[in-house]
Structure 1
């Protein structure tokens, strides 16, 4: 029997030691598991914090890019016609295996080895002559086959080169044609041809790089009589402004919470953004065009969205400005406050663009598409359409009365001639003019001068009229348009009058007059004769 020590056997002591070791191992595993769990939690917290930081950084980058929408383009080289020159992309001729000739069969590989002295004693010479003849025939056949393959290769090589040369000529011809069209566009642009100016301005706007969330839709019209470009640009949606300032990790809930951006800040940032987009557009057009072609830019910024009340798609104008080149070039755009800058330019800006509060633009872009054409005078004398210049004053006034009644005028009263030239008073609750409106119609063949618009405002004051309308068969200068915009006067030129008569009276007429393509549109005469620009 084993010896007992302190009342316990050796076996019992071993058992106790084993238990203690097992307990120690258990405690160690528990400690390691606890430390591993702690590290796992720490890593999870760190990962969640990094995720929150990354999301915050993404928001900050987005906001920073929106803040730099204007300043990012100020140092860039303006686009020019040279940027559209086509250089044909012609790959090098790579015939591949066709360029490598196949080695001709080597006679040394066919020639049989001559017999030695012993071989000749036992008939080797005869056998060698036979083998030599067979080798020559085989070599001849291989040479013929090689020549045939080489002929096929050289023929294929010639065809490949001819095809490559054809593609080169085709690419060069296409490039030459594109560049010839570009030269014509450049020449027409210098002459102020509307199609060429509109083409180039559209390319300038299309080349402008905005964030992906921005729509790339714009309409362009050029009015050579005023030397101005009319732009209708789609603004980005209000959702382009992040509604959060960043993200914060909440350890106690193990959650990443967004930090809301104050509503007031969101609205202010959206108003600043559309102001920056407007100034950027004006800057890009003015710097890419020449002063003798584009003297002013009329910018209308609109937003296509869903009407919350009806669910229908609506297009709302949020900003409209007419900028003269001379005024715009005085601005230091890198330092301006965009909203204050537009105010200085007398822009019409929605009081609450984020809330989709619309404004009436300076110029209705849809009517700008009805331009005069060079052949209008000729056409009016050749077809059956009525030429408005051939109407008597009474007939013309009668036509205008019919038009305004069809447009919603509820009353029409002719004013005596001593009133200063105003032809009628109309009232309406649902036309584009509300209340009492004075109407003046000018059957002119030259520009309607600024004095005519001035005179209308005086008569409006005398009659306490709400608005005024000046209708003409000809056109208005830019100074007249600007004055009218500030004084509740609607101007309707020849092409617009033609469009309105067609729409509301179903008469197809022609104004019968063409404005000068490149002459300055005068605004300083009551008689309608061209003179210096105001």
Structure 2
């Protein structure tokens, strides 16, 4: 009995120990879980604290950055006059254009066609005498065929090179002539300045103010002036910055509890005093720029009236309100050391000027003398007649474009004539999202603007770090220009669009007689369009399929006539504006097009491809893949790539795409893709060509 009882107790004790071990293991596991949970929570809390601290630091740094910007803005306003006095004085010679033009660059035409080497044409095969003789005859025939083809290509190259060189010389003579005429105009203006001519005097000093590098770019530039020849006095109205030029906020602080930035307002008395000081500095800086630019001794004195263009607080209407006026003799002004003066004291006490006591409320002053008071000596710009943009002086044209940008709500100034980095007008769009810096080039052309100008503008945009580049012209743009500009921060404004924009914004301008201008067609010696104003469409594709690439000159969906269908039996149109070329690798077919010389009724150029029935009559377009059109200029420089659709099984002809003339004379490319099982005959019949 005792052994039996001891055995049961042992089993029970062992079971109890196992349960105890399980409970201890469970407790240890739970303890580990709790420890891991606490560690995770501590890690999360630390990460949250770090994230919160980083967020706070970011917001505080942003507040400090904004405060620094406000301080920098105020410092620049306080030092406006001192900074402007260190800028170089304007000189008439800066308006002179260097007699330099782009060198003659024939591109691939400069390289002679390589002639075939007869040593590379060895007989192939032939064991017997007759077979060897036949093989030698075949080799000699291949050599002669290739030699004649190369000779023909070389003759065409020489003809094209000679025509291109002649056209270049004509263009160069025209460009040099324009430069000489411009420089002659500058010389006449200098002579007019020496003789006291009112118009020359106003034009020169207006240019000096617009081109001043001492005047901040973000301040307005608007001037009207007249010259009193007898008193040798320039009477001028100049636009001043509005009250909002002085920042309303003094500093920015980040509020942690509210999680927002709070602006500390600038005391009204401080803001008003700074604005008054800025106006005084602006008036003194204008006087400095005028007297410093007077290398001809034309100015005995300057009557300057400063105005702001804003809403009149009395009427609520937009008006020009004069806030300062000064009559400054040269002798008195020459004794001033502007970098050391207190601007308000110098202007009011030193020069006896009137300066608004409450400019923040636009309290006006009475001008001493206005340009219209000069009488017969008043020089006006424009008049009742629309100015002809083609005949406008280049400086005046640039100023008109700057006026247009200002009328569109932007800030815009013309640049100096030299060292402008390819920029004629600097503009700033204040819109918060789409706005930013804009560089503008203007081209007063009659012929189509070359794509090289668009490429140059793109480089200028990148160099200047601008948000957009705008090219404004009195003529038009070709498809190469639009293709290059597509997808880039570039905008092209053709002549007709420019006139429309001018009229919509209250400005004046016309193109010649006002009728639609057709660009002058350049011609080669044989009467055909010159080679310097054309594009080459280079066709490439993968696959071993042989194709005929053709072109149709159309009005709408109908070809003009059978002669305007360019294909293997008709390699050119009667006027030579469209012609087939021998392709140059990597192209497998090529067509030359002079877009601006196409007939006026032609509004579409359709490019098509069809299976070559001689080379491979049983083929279809299933092997026509990875295809595209390289758009080249006359020098062989690539302007862009136009993608086209791949071919499909069973189809033997395909519309690759069409160039379509826009209302303003430019050309856009529209991708095709329609295939035809009936080959070239079925395709051309749809465009109105009867196939016998």
TM over 0.5: yes
Deviates more, 1:238-247 or 1:4-13: 4-13
Aligned pair 1:95/2:101, yes or no? no
What does the per-residue CA deviation read over 1:327-365, in whole Å, with 9 as the maximum and x for residues that have no partner? 111111110001111121111122222221111111133
Q: 2: CA distance between counterparts of 1:312 and 1:330?
A: 41
Q: Which one of 72, 76, 91 corresponds to residue 61 of structure 1?
A: 72
Aligned pair 1:223/2:223, yes or no? no
Q: 2: CA distance between counterparts of 1:223 and 1:368?
A: 6
* 2:298 alignment partner in structure 1: 293
Aligned pair 1:269/2:280, yes or no? no
* 2:208 alignment partner in structure 1: 204
How far 1:60 sits from its partner (Å)?
Answer: 1.6
How far 1:258 sits from its partner (Å)?
Answer: 0.6
In structure 2, do the counterparts of structure 1 residues 134 and 66 end up closer, same or farther at CA, with 3 Å as the change threshold? same
The answer (yes or no) to whether the contact 2:226–2:378 under 8 Å persists in 1 is no
In structure 2, do the counterparts of structure 1 residues 247 and 88 end up closer, same or farther at CA, with 3 Å as the change threshold? farther
Deviates more, 1:56-65 or 1:237-246: 56-65
* 2:637 alignment partner in structure 1: none
Q: 1: CA distance between counterparts of 2:105 and 2:23?
A: 91
Q: Which one of 339, 351, 357 corresponds to residue 351 of structure 1?
A: 357
Q: Which one of 308, 314, 322 corresponds to residue 319 of structure 2?
A: 314
The two structures have a TM-score, normalised by structure 1, of 0.65
* 2:283 alignment partner in structure 1: 278
How far 1:233 sits from its partner (Å)?
Answer: 0.7
* 2:143 alignment partner in structure 1: 139
* 2:561 alignment partner in structure 1: none
Aligned pair 1:247/2:247, yes or no? no
Aligned pair 1:258/2:263, yes or no? yes
The answer (yes or no) to whether the contact 1:201–1:220 under 8 Å persists in 2 is no
What does the per-residue CA deviation read over 1:112-171, in whole Å, with 9 as the maximum and x for residues that have no partner? 1697xxx5xxxx222111111121122111110110011111222222222322222221
Q: 2: CA distance between counterparts of 1:356 and 1:76?
A: 30
Q: 2: CA distance between counterparts of 1:353 and 1:125?
A: 109
How many aligned residue pairs are there? Answer: 366
Structure 1: runs of 5 or more not aligned: 374-534
What does the per-residue CA deviation read over 1:431-476, in whole Å, with 9 as the maximum and x for residues that have no partner? xxxxxxxxxxxxxxxxxxxxxxxxxxxxxxxxxxxxxxxxxxxxxx
* 1:237 alignment partner in structure 2: 242
Q: 2: CA distance between counterparts of 1:326 and 1:309?
A: 39
* 1:32 alignment partner in structure 2: 43
How far 1:291 sits from its partner (Å)?
Answer: 6.8
* 1:193 alignment partner in structure 2: 197
* 1:325 alignment partner in structure 2: 330
Structure having the higher Rg: 1
How is 1:101-500 mapped onto 2 (pairs within 5 angstroms)? 101-112=112-123, 119=127, 124-209=128-213, 210-290=215-295, 292-342=297-347, 343-371=349-377
Q: 2: CA distance between counterparts of 1:50 and 1:91?
A: 51
**Two-structure CA RMSD over aligned residues (Å):** 2.1
Deviates more, 1:5-14 or 1:279-288: 5-14
Aligned pair 1:48/2:52, yes or no? no
What does the per-residue CA deviation read over 1:267-304, in whole Å, with 9 as the maximum and x for residues that have no partner? 10111001001110111111111474211111111122
The answer (yes or no) to whether the contact 1:321–1:348 under 8 Å persists in 2 is yes
What does the per-residue CA deviation read over 1:87-134, in whole Å, with 9 as the maximum and x for residues that have no partner? 25522333222222232111122121697xxx5xxxx22211111112
The answer (yes or no) to whether the contact 2:123–2:138 under 8 Å persists in 1 is no
Q: 1: CA distance between counterparts of 2:211 and 2:124?
A: 77
DSSP 3-state at the match of 2:263: strand
The answer (yes or no) to whether the contact 2:115–2:150 under 8 Å persists in 1 is yes
The answer (yes or no) to whether the contact 1:3–1:10 under 8 Å persists in 2 is no
DSSP 3-state at the match of 1:308: coil
How far 1:323 sits from its partner (Å)?
Answer: 0.7
Q: 2: CA distance between counterparts of 1:114 and 1:262?
A: 101
Q: 2: CA distance between counterparts of 1:338 and 1:249?
A: 36
DSSP 3-state at the match of 1:354: helix
Q: 2: CA distance between counterparts of 1:18 and 1:369?
A: 104
What does the per-residue CA deviation read over 1:365-424, in whole Å, with 9 as the maximum and x for residues that have no partner? 332254389xxxxxxxxxxxxxxxxxxxxxxxxxxxxxxxxxxxxxxxxxxxxxxxxxxx
Structure 2: runs of 5 or more not aligned: 1-10, 380-692
The answer (yes or no) to whether the contact 1:319–1:350 under 8 Å persists in 2 is yes
The structure carrying a bigger helix percent of its residues is 1
* 1:466 alignment partner in structure 2: none
Q: 1: CA distance between counterparts of 2:168 and 2:56?
A: 63
DSSP 3-state at the match of 2:34: helix
* 1:471 alignment partner in structure 2: none
In structure 2, do the counterparts of structure 1 residues 7 and 152 end up closer, same or farther at CA, with 3 Å as the change threshold? closer
The two structures have a TM-score, normalised by structure 2, of 0.51
The answer (yes or no) to whether the contact 1:213–1:240 under 8 Å persists in 2 is no
DSSP 3-state at the match of 1:315: strand
Q: Which has the higher contact order (CA 8 A, sep 6+)?
A: 1
